Chain A
Amino acid sequence: MSGVEWIIPILLTVITAATPLVFAGIGELVTEKSGVLNLGVEGMLLVGAVAAFVTATVTGNYFLAVAAGALAGAFLAFLFGVLTLSLMANQVATGLALTLFGVGVSALIGQDFVGIPVDALPKLAVPGLSDIPVLGPVLFGQDALVYLSLFMAALVSWFLYRTKGGLILRAVGDSHNAAHSIGYSVIGIRYLAVMFGGAMSGVGGAYLSLAYTPMWAENMTAGRGWIALALIVFATWKPGLVVVGAYMFGGITILQLHAQAAGLDVPSQILSMLPYLATVVVLVLISKDESRIRKHAPACIGKIFHPAA
C-alpha cells in the first residue's frame, strides 16, 4: 500500500471495535450518574447480542434485530432494578448475578444459532462523500449503529448537562435523601436510568453479533462489559471521555490483528492479553488520585435507598 491508505483498514477496525464499548459505556454512565452501579453490563451485552442475532436470522430485519437487542438488555436491567431498587438487594452482588445469569440465558437461547453466518450490518454510503479518499470511508461509510453510538453520546451529554431532567438525574445520584425530601421519585428515576443503561448495552451487544463479528458464539463479549465499566472510571463519569476511552480501547483490541498481519513474532495469546492489561494499567493510573475519583463519582453510587420516614 502506498501513502496513507494503509491507515484506512486500521481506522475502520478501530471504529468497529470501539462502537460496542461506546454504547455500553454511555448507557452505564447514565445508570451510574443516577447513583446505581450495575455490574451486569457483560450479561446485558450478551443477551442483547443473542437477541439481536436470533431476530436477524429469523426475520432478516436489522431494525427489528437491534430493537430486540435493546429490549432484551432493558429487560435484564429491569430485573436488576427490581432486585436492587424495589427489593434493596446489594448492587454489587446483583450485578454479578446479572452477568452470570446473562451468560447462561444467552448460551441457552443461542445454542441453535452457533456458527450460523449472517450478513454484516450494511454500511451506509453517503453518495459522493464516502468516495473521498481516506476520510470518505472512515467518516461517511459506516453502518447506522456507529453513527447512532456517537449521536447517543452527544445526546446523553446534552441531556445530563443542559436539561432539567439531566439535572434531576444527577441530583438523585448526588444525594438520594435530599432528592427524596424535595419530592423527586428516586426509585422511579433510577428505574429509568437503569433501563436506559440496559437498552444501550443491548444495542452494544447487537453491534457485536451483527457488525463486529457477524455471528453468535457463547461468551463472545470476552469481558467487554467489564472494560466498559472501567472506561467510566477512566472517563471520570464524562460522556465525551467515555467515547475517547472507547476508541483507545478499540485501538488496543485491534492491535493484535494488525501486529500479526505486520509479521510481529509475538504469540497471539500474549497480544490478546493487551486490552485486559491496558484496562488494569488505566485503572491504576486514574485511581491513583483518590480525591479526583471521589470528586467526580456520583456520591450515592452503589448505596441502597430506602425511603424510611
Chain B
Amino acid sequence: MGDGGTPHGALKPRLELRGITKAFPGVLANDKIDLKILPGEIHALLGENGAGKSTLVKIIYGVLEADEGDLLWNGVPLRIASPHAARKLGIGMIFQHFSLFEAMTVTENIALGLPGRQNMAELARRIVEVSNNYGLPLEPHRHVHTLSVGEKQRIEIVRCLLQNPKLLIMDEPTSVLTPQEADKMFETLRRLADEGVSILYISHKLDEIKALCHKATILRGGKYITECDPTQETSKSLAEMMIGTNLVAPEHVENATRGEVRLKIRDLSMETSDQFGVNLSQINLDVRAGEVMGIAGVAGNGQVEFLEALSGEVLSQDPANIQLDGKPIGKLGPVERRNLRLAFVPEDRLGHGSVPEMDLVDNAFLSAYSQKKLLKAGFIDRSTTTAFAEEIVQKFDVRTAGVSHTAGSLSGGNLQKFIVGREMLQDPRLIIIAHPTWGVDAGAAAAIHQAIIDLAENGAAVLVVSQDLDELFAISDQIAVIAEGRLSVNRNIREITIEEIGLLMGGTHGAGERKEVSSVA
C-alpha cells in the first residue's frame, strides 16, 4: 500500500497547501494557510474550536472550494472539485460526526463510499480481510445502529483503507473512544504510516498529538501560526500556541467537608424510547451539597436517557428512584422539579436548551417563568422577563447586540453562557449540566468552568455529564462512569487514574463493582 518505505526521507511533500483562504459570511475561516505533509508522516492539525481546522480539511477533501490559494498533490498543482475527486487521488477522510447510514449494513455503508458497482458478497469478504488485517474487526452484515461508536469508526477507517489511500484525514477521531480504544487505533495509524500513508490528524488533545504525531501545524482564529515538532514541545507550550495566551486553570479549592446529600438516585432503571438508545439499569448515586459530581463516559452509553430522567422529561417508574433533599421527585415533571430548585442545562444548545428562532427574552422565559414569577395574572410579564434576560447577558458576559436578537444568532460559546446563566441565576440547589463546554471556545469554556466551581462553593450540588476527561478532571470533586446504561461507583477525583476510568468507560467491570459496593453502602 502507498509508496512504501521511508517515512520521513522523501523530500517531495505528498500534499502542500499555499495561502489557502476561505471566507464565510462574517468570518474569515481560513486566512492564508500553509501546510506540508510528507509521505508516511503523521501530521497534526492543532487548534481550538473555530480555529478553521474543519474548513481546511473540507477544502482538502473537496467538500468546500477555497476562495484563494494553491493546493499541490505530489508537487502538481490541482483543484479538488468533489469528494469523489479526492478519493480518486487517494485521499480518504474519517469524519468526526460519522458519515454513516444508521439503517444500513456495514457492507452497504462501505459500498456507498466506493466508486462504481460492487459485488456485495465479494465486498463483504474484502471487508473481513482488510479489517482483520489491521486489527479493526467488523461483521459486514450488521446494521450500523446496532454497533458501538468505536465499531462505527472502524467502518469509516476500513472504507478508506479499501481504496488504498495515500493520505488519510482524521477529524477528532478519539473524541468518541475510550483511552484503551484510542491506543489501539494509534497502533493501526502507526502501521499505516510505516507503510507510507500520510495521515493528517486533527485534534485539540495535546497528549495524544505528542504521543502520535511527527509534525504539527497550529491554527488559531483561522490563521496559520506555526509548524513544530510536537515531541519537542510540552503540552503547555502547545496549548499556549493554540490558544495564544497563557492558560489559567480554574481555581478549585477542594471541599474539606462534604455537605448533606442533595440528590439521591436509587435503583433507577429505564427503558429507552429511542430505537437507537440505551436502557438504564439500576443506577445509584448520591450528590452532596457543595460538590461537583462528574459523570464520564463515551457518548451513546445512556447519557441521554440518564439526563432525561433527571430533568423530568421522562418520568421514572417509582417516585423514590430520584430524590431531591429527601423528597421523591421521580414522577414530577420539569416545572415541578424546577420549583424545587433543580436547574438543568441540556446537551443540545439549539433546539433543546433554547428555541433558536426566538429572541433571548423568550428564551429567558422558557425555563425560568415559574421560578422567576414571570407570569402576572396569567399574562406574560414582558418587562420583568426582559430585565431578567438582560441580567443574564450582563452577569455572564454574553456577547450579543441585544436581548431582542434570536438565540440562533449567538455563537456557540455565547449561547452556552446564556443558558448556563439562565439556569444558575435561578438560584438552584441542584444543577445538572450536560457537556458544559462542548464546541465552545476556550474563553467561554473557562468562564463556564469557573461559574460551575463557584456555584458549588456557594453550596449547590452540581452534576456534570461530559465526554471530555480533561474537563472533568479540572472541575469535579467526584467522578463516576456511565457505560452501557450502568453507572459505576463514584470515586474521589484525586484517587482515580485515567486508566481506571478508561476501563470503566469500556464497560469491563463497572457494573459488577457497582453491585458489590452498593450492597455495602
Which A residues form the contact surface with B (CB < 8 A)? 164, 167-168, 170-171, 174-175, 177-184, 291, 294-295, 299, 309
Check A174–B104 contact: CB distance below 8 A. Answer: yes
CA distance A242 to B102 in the complex (A): 24
Known: A174-B102, A183-B62, A299-B102. A309 touches B84 (CB 8 A): no
Neighbouring B residues of A175 by C-beta, 8 Å: 99-102
Of the listed stretches B36-44, B111-119, B223-231, B238-246, name the one at the interface; the rest are far from the partner chain: B111-119
Cβ-closest chain B residue relative to A168? B112
Bound form: Cα–Cα A180–B469 in Å:
32
Q: In the complex the two chains form, is A174's CB within 8 Å of B103's CB? A: yes
Contact B62 A294 (CB under 8 A): no
Which among B82, B97, B104, B275 is the interface contact of A183 at CB below 8 angstroms? Answer: B82
The answer to whether residues A178 and B98 also contact, given A167-B112, A171-B104, A309-B64 and a CB cut-off of 8 A, is yes
Residue of B nearest to A165 (CB): B117
Measured in the bound complex, the distance between the Cα atoms of B62 and A180 in whole Å is 11
Question: Of residues 102 to 129 in B, which have CB atoms within 8 Å of A's CB atoms?
Answer: 102-104, 108, 111-113, 116-118
Q: Give CA–CA (A295, B104) in the complex, Å.
A: 11
Q: Any chain A CB within 8 A of the CB of B346?
A: no
Given A168-B112, A309-B24, A295:B99 Cβ within 8 A: no
Interface hits, B369-416 → A, CB 8 Å? none
Counting CB contacts under 8 A, is B58 at the interface?
yes
| Given contact pairs A170-B104, A181-B95, A183-B83, A164 touches B113 in the complex (Cβ within 8 A) | no
What's the least CB distance linking A303 to chain B, in Å? 13
In the complex, A299 Cα to B113 Cα: how many Å? 19
List 22 interface pairs A-B (beta carbons < 8 Å), by A numbering: A164-B117, A167-B104, A167-B108, A171-B104, A171-B112, A174-B101, A174-B103, A177-B97, A177-B99, A178-B100, A179-B101, A180-B63, A181-B63, A181-B99, A182-B99, A182-B112, A183-B83, A183-B86, A184-B112, A299-B102, A309-B55, A309-B64
Distance (Å) between the CB of A186 and the closest chain B CB?
12
In the complex, B215 has a CB within 8 A of chain A = no
> Assuming the A-B contacts A178-B98, A182-B83, are A164 and B118 also in contact, with contact meaning beta carbons closer than 8 angstroms in the complex?
yes
In the assembled complex, B220 has its CB within 8 A of some CB on chain A = no
Q: How far apart sit A228 and B386, CA to CA, in the bound complex (Å)?
A: 49
Contacts of B87 in A (CB 8 A): 183
Kindly identify, within residues 52 to 67 of chain B, every residue whose CB is under 8 Å from any CB belonging to chain A: 55, 58, 62-64
Residue interface mask B267-309, A partner, CB < 8 A = 1? 0000000010000000000000000000000000000000000
Best-surrounded residue of A167, A168, A180, A294 (most CB of chain B within 10 A): A167
Whether A178 contacts B111 by the Cβ 8 Å rule is no
Contact of A167 with B102 in the complex, beta carbons under 8 Å:
no
Q: Beyond the given A167-B104, A181-B63, A309-B55, could you list 14 further A-B residue pairs with CB under 8 A, ordered by the A residue number?
A: A164-B111, A171-B104, A171-B112, A174-B101, A174-B104, A175-B99, A177-B97, A177-B99, A181-B83, A182-B83, A183-B62, A183-B83, A291-B275, A299-B103
- For A183, list chain B residues within 8 Å (CB): 62-63, 82-84, 86-87
Min CB distance B193 to A, Å, is 24
A178→B117 contact, CB < 8 A: no
Q: Top 9 A-B pairs ranked by shortest CB distance?
A: A183-B83, A178-B99, A181-B99, A174-B101, A183-B84, A164-B117, A171-B101, A174-B103, A182-B99
Distance of A137 Cα from B95 Cα, bound (Å): 58
Q: Is the CB of B275 within 8 A of A167?
A: no
Contact (A167, B111) CB under 8 Å given A174-B101, A291-B275: yes
- CB-CB under 8 A from B103, the residues of chain A are 170, 174, 295, 299
Q: Are A295 and B102 in contact (CB under 8 A)?
A: no
Chain A residues lying within 8 Å of B111, measured Cβ to Cβ, are 164, 167
CB < 8 Å neighbour of B101 from A164, A178, A295? A178
Q: How far is the CA of A164 from the CA of B117 in the complex (A)?
A: 6
Chain A residue at smallest Cβ distance from B85: A183
Quote the shortest CB–CB distance from B96 to chain A (angstroms): 10
Chain B residues, Cβ within 8 Å of A180: 63
What are the residues of chain A within 8 A of B101 when measuring CB–CB? 170-171, 174-175, 178-179
Docked CA distance A181–B108 (Å):
16
List chain B residues, Cβ under 8 A from A171: 101, 104, 108, 112
Chain A residue contacts of B82, Cβ below 8 A:
183
The verdict on A182 contacting B113 (CB below 8 Å), with A309-B24, A309-B55, A309-B64 known, is yes
Shortest Cβ distance from B100 into A: residue: A178
Chain A residues within 8 Å of B83, by CB: 181-183
Query: What's the minimum C-beta distance from A130 to chain B, rounded to whole angstroms?
Result: 40
State in angstroms the CA–CA spacing of A164 and B102 once bound together.
17
Closest to A308 in B: B24
In whole Å, how far is A172's beta carbon from the nearest beta carbon of chain B?
9
Q: How distant is B279 from chain A, measured CB to nearest CB, in Å?
A: 14
| Chain A residues near B116 (CB-CB < 8 A) | 164
A170 to B113, CA, bound (A): 14
Question: Complex: how many Å from CA A177 to CA B87?
Answer: 18
Question: What B residues does A178 contact at CB under 8 A?
Answer: 98-101
Closest to B58 in A: A309
Which partner residue on chain A sits nearest B86 by CB separation?
Answer: A183
By beta carbon, the residue of chain B nearest A178 is: B99
- CA gap between A171 and B95 in the complex, in Å: 17
In the complex, residue of chain A having the shortest beta-carbon distance to the beta carbon of B62: A183
- In the complex the two chains form, is A295's CB within 8 Å of B95's CB? no
For B98, what are the chain A residues with a Cβ–Cβ distance below 8 Å? 178
- What chain A residues lie within 8 Å of B86 (beta carbons)? 183
B117 shortest CB reach to chain A, Å: 5
A178 CA to B64 CA, complexed, in Å: 15
By beta carbon, the residue of chain B nearest A181 is: B99
